[in-house]
Each structure stands twice: as C-alpha cells, then as structure tokens.
Amino acid sequence: MRTALVTGITGQDGGYLARHLLAHDYRVVGAYRHGSKPRAQNLNALGIRDDIELIPLELLETTNLLRIVDKYRPDEVYNLAAQSFVAVSFEQPLLTSNINALGTMRLLEAIRAIQPEARFYQASTSEMFGRVHDVPQTEETPFYPRSPYGVAKLFAHWATVNYRESHDLFACSGILFNHESPLRGPQFVTRKITQGIARIETGKQSEIVLGNLSAKRDWGYASEYVEAMWLMLQQDEPDDFVVASGETRTVREFVEAALAAAGREVEWKGEGIDERGIDKQSGKTLIRVSEDFYRPAEVDLLLGDPSKAEKALGWQRKTSFEELVRLMVEADLALERGESPSRL
C-alpha cells in the first residue's frame, strides 16, 4: 500500500484529492495546521474523515516537517497547504510568503534530507501569469505575478523545478487555473455568489456585494482537477503542467449563470462601482458593487491551454462551466435549507 502525505487536507482540494487517493487504495496521511482540532467539515461532507490519518503539520516549522517525513516515509507528497486567498496576501504579504514560498522550500528540504525518493507535487497557480504575456497561457508563457500570493507561489514553483534539476527529486509543479466546488472557501468569488444566492432565496440575505465584475477567469471543477495532480506523479518523468478548462468567463457572467440556475435574471444598471444588478421580477437590487472588494492590482484575464496535460496525462475536464455553476448553486440551496447536497 502506497502512503501519500497531503498538506492542506482541510481545504477544498485536500478533501477531493484524499477521496481520489483512497479510491486508489492509498494510505492517506492528511496534515492540518494547529495542534488542537482539525477543521474537518469538508472531510465529513465527503464521508472520508475516518479513512484518513489526520496529523498536525505547520509549514512554518522546519523540525516538525523533518519529523513527519521521517515518521511516515511517504511515497508521494502533495503540498496543497497555503495562505490561498489573493486579497489577504496584500494585507499579510510576509506571512503569505513565509507559508507559500519558504514553507514549500522547507518541505522540499525535509524530503531531500530524509526521503529523496518521495514524489512531490506542488500546488502552483495561474496567478503566476498575472499580467498575462500570452493568450491562452501555456507552460511556456512567461510569468508576471500581480500579488504577494502570486509572487510567493512563483518562488515555490521555481524551487520545485530547481530541486528536480539540482537534487534529482521527482518534483512536479501543477499550474492549476481556478477550480471551484461546493467545498470552495466562501471568501472566493464563485462560492460567495452561489452561497449569497442561496441565502437570498431562503430569505437570510438581501443582496450580494462584490468587487470587479469584469475580471475573467478560467473556472473548472475541483473534483476533476485533483485527478491531474495524481496523474502527474504517476508518470515516468517529472514535469510541469497547466491544468485548465480552456474557457474564460467574467465574474459578471458567473453571476448571471448562477442567478439563472436559481431561476432569476438581473438587469445591469450603472457602471464601475455604481453598477447594480436589479432583479427583473421584483425590481430589488440583488448585486451591488463596492470598492472594498477591489484589489490594489488585478489579474484581468486568465485563460489556460491544457493541451499538454491532455496529451501527456490523458487528463480531460468533464464538467462544463454551466454544470459547475448549477451544481454549486444546488448544493448551496440544499445547505441553506438544512439538507445534504446531492452532489459535491
């Protein structure tokens, strides 16, 4: 039985990846931060909490990482842990860098020292492309990050490449474009929208306040993206891959699709921070724009080309944008009504 160590097990991807690994008969050692109690809602929702060995791990603490790698001797390490919210990285750039950049290097050092045969996956991101140089973005597109989050992730990406080239580690960087699900953190725009709509439908909230509606993202379904992570570590040679849907949509389009999934339609009035989405049926404002949710620097357009992953890994996204939005809205409606979502 192969052992996989997954950092960030309590996050969105941690849960889906663990489910995938368990289905492939792995012993899954799932690492959460802090010593007291893991935030296990996602693992409970997926019904896999009792199948995972949950251990505390802190990416800021070198000796802790050394002891864990020594104790569990993992065959595969998936480094999903991060301060993953771009907006927070502008307010907490040093913490973000310490976790996302140096934390990755600490883990690579622990593997290099103790278990160099372990295969390593780094959760890299399309945010590294930032102010994009090519459309669509591929593995060859130059990087130009636009946030402390992107800068720190770029350090971790190059550290992964460097440990592969310098120390012969089987280290892969997955450059994943935005991926979403009912388990996505509620501060991210997609979940904020679908949860907001479900709360409006159940009378708990009257409107959703958002920032830049014109930003474009390449959104896919997280449950499918973790399969690409696993596939990267099953190849003969380590490499880096873009994982994306190959389609881009504005935040405004996401709002419209989510409202449509709940049977609503808005009329847009005003421009910029004065823009409002007004419910065509009731005339009430459902969407309001506020400067509070704008960022000091924006990533305007992300569109990934997943051709290399499709050819080399045989990976293919299956869920369309519309299906993804619908499944998120349906799950949030169920949750707000106190029911269990039919699909996660």
Which of 180, 131, 173, 133 has the alpha carbon at shortest distance from 153?
173
CA dihedral of residues 120, 187, 42, 96 (deg, nearest 10): 30
Note whether 185 binds ligand NAP by CB under 6 A: yes
User: CA-CA distance, 136 to 51, in Å (whole number)?
Assistant: 40
Q: Which is nearer to ligand NAP, 83 or 245 (CB)?
A: 83
- The only residue of 6, 12, 129, 315 in contact with ligand NAP, by rule CB under 6 A: 12
Give the tokens for residue 149: 């989050």
The number of beta carbons lying within 10 Å of the beta carbon of residue 177 is 27
Q: Which is nearer to ligand NAP, 19 or 179 (CB)?
A: 179
In the complex, minimum distance from the CB of residue 178 to ligand NAP, in angstroms, rounded to a whole number? 4
189-248 residues near ligand GDP, rule: CB under 6 A: 189-190, 192, 210-212, 215, 217
Decide if 127 is catalytic.
yes
Decide if 149 is catalytic.
yes
CA dihedral of residues 18, 96, 179, 56 (deg, nearest 10): 10
Amino acid 105 reads M
Decide if 225 is catalytic.
no
Strand pairing class (27-32; 216-217): unpaired
The number of beta carbons lying within 10 Å of the beta carbon of residue 156 is 27
In the complex, minimum distance from the CB of residue 181 to ligand NAP, in angstroms, rounded to a whole number? 9
Amino acid 120 reads F
In the complex, minimum distance from the CB of residue 284 to ligand NAP, in angstroms, rounded to a whole number? 31
**Site residues (vs ligand GDP, CB under 6 A):** 86-87, 127, 178, 187-190, 192, 210-212, 215, 217, 251, 293, 295, 298-299
**Site residues (vs ligand NAP, CB under 6 A):** 7-8, 10-14, 32-33, 39, 57-60, 80-84, 99, 123, 125, 176, 178-179, 185
